């Protein structure tokens, strides 16, 4: 991992403007902080999607099992599986014939998830894959050509750079067979104050989550970032639905990354782009499905219509 991590950090910090890739947020400390974020009152996304999955668990079982047929339930970026566990428990309780395949780039979070599932739901077959989304899917396709239902929850689809989400969906389409399904969580456009607060909580956990990536670079790439010299700055643009978070350099400073044997200069006030969290409307969702080749089978909303889980099929 270190070589790839180092290469991506070098590329991001040598760019103009500077950026770091949000997939690197998730080391052991990042996993912990993200779990804290999910418990924050400001972070409405988790509660909304939990409500959707809970309210629609029967419909989802019927749709996924396609009249009682076996299926692989693949989850991209499963994290701690907080919401998925409710589906697994329900499906297992109704004797559905399925295997759960969580894919996550963080081996730590996957180990915890696997342990908890073997303890709490020992009857569920679990085959975890630590690594990147497509590597996990390619590995599964080499081993098993059976029917797949892919979950991509938590509005992770919003974390791609503009245009990359469509390319990602096309990549998923290529790795699926006719009749396979894909359910994606989309955070919807809403009151900008509510959205911005979700990325700027009063207790500062989201700030720590962002700053932790500098700490990870310090630890894994022998760097000397002083975390006190940066602050977290999120914005929401209601015109295009983009939330972006930045780390801003408080002063002119030079940071050395030992692993790269290189220094990087930051101006006072210079932003490092950290994460995009795109917010969607139904037109955008339909367009993404259509342009990537999928047919929308059903849309599931929470009671406030803050969030959407959209179920698609490869026709």
Ligand X SMILES: C[S@@+](CC[C@H](N)C(=O)[O-])C[C@H]1O[C@@H](n2cnc3c(N)ncnc32)[C@H](O)[C@@H]1O
Which residues lie near ligand X (CB under 6 A)?
23, 26, 34, 77-79, 82, 103-106, 109, 132-133, 153-154, 156
Strand, coil or helix: 246: strand
CA atoms within 13 A on the CB side of 244: 14
Rounded to the nearest whole angstrom, what is the least distance from the CB of residue 305 to ligand X in the complex? 19
Closer by beta carbon to ligand X, 82 or else 250: 82
Which segments of 36-104 are extended strands (E)? 71-76, 98-104
Closer by beta carbon to ligand X, 56 or else 249: 56
> Distance between CA 305 and CA 55 in Å, rounded?
14
CA atoms within 13 A on the CB side of 261: 0
Closer by beta carbon to ligand X, 82 or else 86: 82
Rounded to the nearest whole angstrom, what is the least distance from the CB of residue 269 to ligand X in the complex? 28
- Residue 73's alpha-carbon distances to 65, 82, 151, 190, in angstroms, are 10, 15, 7, 31
Closer by beta carbon to ligand X, 132 or else 242: 132
Rounded to the nearest whole angstrom, what is the least distance from the CB of residue 78 to ligand X in the complex? 6
Q: Which residues contact 238 (CB under 8 A, 6 or more apart)?
A: 189, 192
Closer by beta carbon to ligand X, 131 or else 253: 131
> Distance between CA 157 and CA 152 in Å, rounded?
7
Rounded to the nearest whole angstrom, what is the least distance from the CB of residue 84 to ligand X in the complex? 8
**Do residues 270 and 248 make contact, with C-beta atoms less than 8 angstroms apart?**
yes
- CA nearest neighbour of 1 among 106, 140, 91: 106
Closer by beta carbon to ligand X, 113 or else 260: 113
> Distance between CA 102 and CA 133 in Å, rounded?
10
Closer by beta carbon to ligand X, 124 or else 150: 150
Closer by beta carbon to ligand X, 66 or else 138: 138
Rounded to the nearest whole angstrom, what is the least distance from the CB of residue 228 to ligand X in the complex? 26
Rounded to the nearest whole angstrom, what is the least distance from the CB of residue 278 to ligand X in the complex? 13
Rounded to the nearest whole angstrom, what is the least distance from the CB of residue 290 to ligand X in the complex? 24
Rounded to the nearest whole angstrom, what is the least distance from the CB of residue 158 to ligand X in the complex? 9
C-alpha R_g of the chain: 20
Strand, coil or helix: 35: helix
- CA nearest neighbour of 43 among 159, 192, 199, 212: 199
A 10 A CB-CB count for 252 gives 12
**Do residues 281 and 292 make contact, with C-beta atoms less than 8 angstroms apart?**
no
């Amino acid at each position: 991992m270190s070589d790839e991590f180092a290469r991506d950090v070098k590329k991001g910090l040598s760019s103009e403007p500077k950026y770091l890739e949000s997939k690197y947020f998730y080391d052991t400390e990042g996993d912990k902080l993200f779990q804290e974020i999910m418990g924050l009152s400001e972070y409405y996304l988790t509660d909304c999607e939990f409500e959707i999955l809970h309210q629609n668990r029967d419909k989802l079982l019927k749709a996924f099992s396609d009249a009682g047929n076996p299926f692989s339930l693949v989850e991209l970026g499963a994290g701690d599986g907080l919401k998925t566990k409710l589906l697994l428990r329900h499906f297992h309780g109704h004797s559905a014939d399925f295997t759960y395949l969580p894919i996550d780039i963080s081996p730590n979070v996957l180990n915890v998830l696997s342990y908890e599932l073997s303890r709490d739901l020992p009857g569920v077959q679990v085959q975890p894959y630590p690594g990147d989304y497509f590597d996990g899917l390619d590995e599964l396709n080499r081993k098993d050509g059976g029917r797949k239902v892919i979950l991509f929850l938590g509005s992770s689809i919003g974390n791609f750079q503009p245009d990359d989400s469509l390319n990602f969906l096309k990549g998923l389409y290529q790795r699926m067979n006719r009749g396979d399904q894909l359910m994606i969580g989309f955070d919807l456009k809403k009151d900008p104050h509510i959205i911005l607060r979700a990325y700027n909580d009063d207790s500062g956990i989201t700030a720590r989550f962002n700053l932790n990536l500098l700490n990870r670079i310090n630890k894994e790439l022998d760097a000397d970032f002083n975390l006190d010299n940066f602050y977290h700055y999120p914005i929401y643009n209601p015109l295009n639905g983009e939330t972006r978070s930045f780390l801003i350099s408080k002063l002119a400073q030079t940071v050395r990354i030992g692993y790269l044997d290189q220094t990087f200069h930051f101006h006072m006030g210079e932003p490092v782009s950290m994460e995009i969290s795109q917010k969607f409307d139904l037109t955008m969702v339909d367009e993404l499905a259509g342009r990537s080749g999928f047919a929308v089978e059903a849309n599931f909303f929470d009671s406030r219509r803050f969030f959407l889980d959209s179920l698609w099929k490869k026709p």
